[in-house]
Amino acid sequence: MDLPIPKSRSGMFASLVLVACLFLFYYQTFYEFARGVYLKEYVPVGVEANTLPTGIKVVLRVPKYTSSVIPGWVYGSVENKSDEMKKINLSFMLKDENIILIPSSYQDENIFQRAISNLEILPHSTTYFRFPWSSNIANNNSVLLYVNQKEARLNRSVESMMVSSVKALRRSVLENLFMPPWANTLLPVLALVFCYFAENDVKHADKTPLRFKILFPILIYGICESFCFYFLVMWFMGQGAMWGITGILGWIILIGYHSFSQQTDADYQDD
C-alpha cells in the first residue's frame, strides 16, 4: 500500500521541518484564536443560587447549535464555596424526550446517562461533568435540572438553542480536530501529506541524497499548501468569504502548477 508520505530523504527531512513550523505557528498564533472561536460555540447558563444547597454554585455551558445527527455535550461545573465537604446528587431531566435512533451513539452503554450520584466535593473546590445534548433536547420545553432531588431553576432558557447540522458540524470539527490533543496528531499528518505532494513536483527528488537544493523547494511548496489549508480553516470558522476565496485560489494555482509539472516531465520523457 502506497501511503501518502515522502519517499526521499529530502522529502522526509522537509516534512520534519514543516512539522516544527506548523507546531510553532499553531501554538504561537492559531491556538488562542481557535480556542476563542470554540468557546463562542457554547452559551453559559447559570443556576439560581436560591434553588441550590448553601455554598454550591452550578454553571452549565450549552452548545449554541445542535443536531440529532451530530450530538454535542453540555459541560458543567459544581463549585463548593463553603468550608464543609458537600455531597451532591445531580440529574439533568428531559420531559417526553424522544429516543435518539443513531446506532453509533450507543457504543458506550452509559453515554446517555444524565445523573451523578453521591458526588463528594471538597471545600473550596470545583468538580466538572458533562451530559449529552441533541436536537431532541433543544426542541424540548421541559428541561429540568435537579440537585439533591430538588428542582434547580436555570437563569436562562436553553430552549432558545438552535438546530443546525452545518453549524453543529463546525463545532464538532473544532473540538475534535483543531483543538488539543487531536491537533497534535493532525499537524504531523498534514506535514507528511503536503510534503508528499510537493515531492512529486520537484524533479529528481527521489533519486538524490539529502541536498538543500532539493529540500528547499519541497519545504516551500509544503508551506504554500499549509497556508492554503489555513485560509480554508479560517473560512470554515466563519471569519469571512475572502479567506475561503483566497484558499481556493491558492489550491487552484498549486494544482495547476502540479499538472503543468507532470505534463512537462511527460513531454521531456517522450523526447
Describe the chain by its helix, strand, coil percentages, rounded to 5. Answer: 50, 25, 30
**The length of the chain, given as a count of residues:** 271
The pLDDT profile of the chain, 271 residues, written as one tens digit per residue, is: 577 888 888 888 999 999 999 999 999 999 999 999 999 989 888 888 787 888 999 898 888 887 777 777 888 899 999 999 988 888 877 666 566 655 555 555 555 567 788 888 999 999 998 887 765 555 545 577 888 888 888 877 665 567 778 888 889 899 989 999 999 999 999 999 998 888 876 655 555 666 777 788 889 999 999 999 999 999 999 899 999 999 999 999 888 877 766 665 554 454 5
Q: Which residues contact 100 (CB under 8 A, 6 or more apart)?
A: 68, 71, 112, 134, 136
3-class secondary structure, 79: strand
Helix axes 183-200, 241-270, angle to 10 degrees: 40
What per-residue confidence (pLDDT) applies to 133? 73
CA dist 147 and 78 (Å) reads: 10
- Strand order through the sheet with 115-121: 115-121, 86-94, 143-147, 150-152
Asked if residues 197 and 7 have their Cβ atoms less than 8 Å apart, the reply is: no
In this predicted structure, what is the pLDDT of residue 156? 72
What is residue 268's predicted lDDT score, i.e. its pLDDT?
47
Residue 124 backbone class (left: φ over 0; alpha: ψ -120 to 50; beta: rest): left
Q: For position 252, what pLDDT does the model report?
A: 92
Helix, strand, or coil here: 232?
helix
pTM: 0.78
